[in-house]
Homo-oligomer: A and B are copies of this chain.
Amino acid sequence: MDAPGPGTPDDLPPLVDHHCHGVLRHEPDPGTFAGFLSQSDRPPAAGTSFFDTQAGFAVRRWCPPLLDLPAHCPPDDYLARRRELGPAETRRRLLTATGIGTYLVDTGLPGDLTDPAETARAGGGTGFEVVRLEALAERIAGAASGSEEFLDGLGRAVREAARTAVGFKSVAAYRHGLALDPRPPGRDDVRAAAGAWLAAGATRLTDPVLLRHLIWLAVATGRPLQIHTGFGDPDLRLDHTDPALLTGLIRATADTGTDLVLLHCYPYHRQAAYLASVFPHVYADVGLTLTHVGPRAPAVLAEFLELAPSGKLLFSTDAHGLPELYLAGTALFRTALDSVLGAWTESGAWSAPDARRVGAMIAAENARRVYGLDEPGDR
């Protein structure tokens, strides 16, 4: 499965990681490190370890050799060696091994994280920003003296962001769930909701009217809008993240010229692939999913590729905090693509040139086209 051959990822262009995050600038303590291997926001259950997850096994498989250790060495040995090398050297070693050429970094997460340029530089690539709408709104709200000022400032900020960022991201799935009224909210409703939110202190934004307002502000810019769907931290409710719940919004945005990219999608990735197959402006992303299912990445990627047209699936790592997650995400993606397309080529279901061509589309070309990365101008 690892031998090069027709249709294998040896032919892949530099990857475009169209959805990722910064990594820690400092060295994490062991508990913090392990916490990044899980989507849980609590300590592991007594008698269990976050290393005993597919993300943990994947990190232990792929990363130690780059730090001069044997694959699957004990976590403590790995963490000791990591401390020895320091965060900058660890980052450099891991990121340069990913094969990522372009990083589209969601800058909306808190913490002492590398920014897009810094992240990309460590990996020898180019970085762009993706603006998280809810974080932007929360920042603007913190500086606004009233709802009129907030709404004006927000509209301006979204339009300005569209000039430099390559896209936007909505985490409405976490804040309310995806069963949102698909219509743009009316001006009065938005004003009332903004007033109420500001009066309540403008902390974590969960108001559905404002979440919809953000989505429609972003749609109006024409930049691709990434939408979190499927699993994630436990502040979401899984059954409220099925991308099929977005059908109304998808229909409502069909003629806007703006593309929607459904992130992660698992365990509703077949639903996401269906949506990508019938709506021209909808795309699906392997995201968080491949990293967290480890050796099942080929099976899950194949499920995506049941209905998702070749031109509609995008690669990302959703790596966050640890450069290890970049390496594990890309290694799992490459081997999964190799395994899936290789098997289809071998059985005669696909031709080798088609497999090669589709591999390059998923790895980079679809993202380059959707985000306009090859266009002249501010890119």
Tell whether A81 is near chain B: CB-to-CB under 8 Å.
Answer: no
Tell whether A206 is near chain B: CB-to-CB under 8 Å.
Answer: no
CB-based contact A349/B295 at 8 Å: yes
Q: Of A23-31, A93-101, A134-142, A350-358, which binds chain B?
A: A350-358
CB-based contact B238/A52 at 8 Å: no
Tell whether A145 is near chain B: CB-to-CB under 8 Å.
Answer: no
Q: Name the contact of A41 in the complex, choosing from B238, B245, B278, B292 (C-beta under 8 A).
A: B278
Chain B, residue nearest A254 (CB): B42
Q: Of A102-110, A113-121, A149-157, A299-307, which binds chain B?
A: A299-307
Tell whether A344 is near chain B: CB-to-CB under 8 Å.
Answer: yes
Q: Name the contact of A309 in the complex, choosing from B50, B245, B300, B309 (C-beta under 8 A).
A: B50
Q: For the complex formed, measure the closest distance between the CB of A300 and the CB atoms of chain B, giving whole angstroms.
A: 7
Q: Name the contact of A40 in the complex, choosing from B54, B280, B296 (C-beta under 8 A).
A: B280
Q: Give A31-67 as 1s and 0s: 1 = Cβ < 8 Å from B's Cβ atoms.
A: 0000000111111111111101110011011000000
A254 to B234, CA, bound (A): 12
Tell whether A253 is near chain B: CB-to-CB under 8 Å.
Answer: no
Q: Name the contact of A47 in the complex, choosing from B267, B351, B358, B369 (C-beta under 8 A).
A: B369
Given contacts A238-B275, A307-B292, contact A354 B45 (CB under 8 A): no
CB-based contact B311/A292 at 8 Å: no
Q: For the complex formed, measure the closest distance between the CB of A354 and the CB atoms of chain B, giving whole angstroms.
A: 7
Given contacts A242-B239, A347-B295, contact A40 B279 (CB under 8 A): yes
Q: Name the contact of A239 in the complex, choosing from B61, B244, B279, B295 (C-beta under 8 A).
A: B244
A277 to B53, CA, bound (A): 8
A160 to B350, CA, bound (A): 47
Tell whether A71 is near chain B: CB-to-CB under 8 Å.
Answer: yes
A216 to B328, CA, bound (A): 42
Tell whether A164 is near chain B: CB-to-CB under 8 Å.
Answer: no
A72 to B281, CA, bound (A): 28
Tell whether A231 is near chain B: CB-to-CB under 8 Å.
Answer: yes
Interface residues of A in 335-351 (CB under 8 A from B): 343-344, 347-351
Q: Which of A40, A71, A72, A238 has the most CB of B within 10 A?
A: A238
CB-based contact B271/A233 at 8 Å: no
Tell whether A247 is near chain B: CB-to-CB under 8 Å.
Answer: yes
Q: Name the contact of A238 in the complex, choosing from B274, B294, B369 (C-beta under 8 A).
A: B274
CB-based contact B54/A306 at 8 Å: yes
Tell whether A237 is near chain B: CB-to-CB under 8 Å.
Answer: yes
CB-based contact A57/B306 at 8 Å: no
Tell whether A88 is near chain B: CB-to-CB under 8 Å.
Answer: no
Tell whether A333 is near chain B: CB-to-CB under 8 Å.
Answer: no
CB-based contact A52/B309 at 8 Å: yes
CB-based contact A293/B310 at 8 Å: no
CB-based contact A267/B266 at 8 Å: no
Interface residues of A in 279-301 (CB under 8 A from B): 279-281, 292-296, 299-300
Q: Name the contact of A234 in the complex, choosing from B233, B279, B296, B351 (C-beta under 8 A).
A: B279
* Residues on the B chain within 8 Å of A305, using CB: 54, 296
Q: For the complex formed, measure the closest distance between the CB of A375 and the CB atoms of chain B, giving whole angstroms.
A: 13
A38 to B309, CA, bound (A): 9
CB-based contact A278/B233 at 8 Å: yes
Pairs A–B under 8 Å by Cβ, sample size 14 = A38-B309, A40-B279, A40-B280, A44-B280, A45-B281, A53-B307, A61-B349, A72-B351, A231-B307, A234-B279, A238-B275, A239-B244, A295-B343, A296-B302
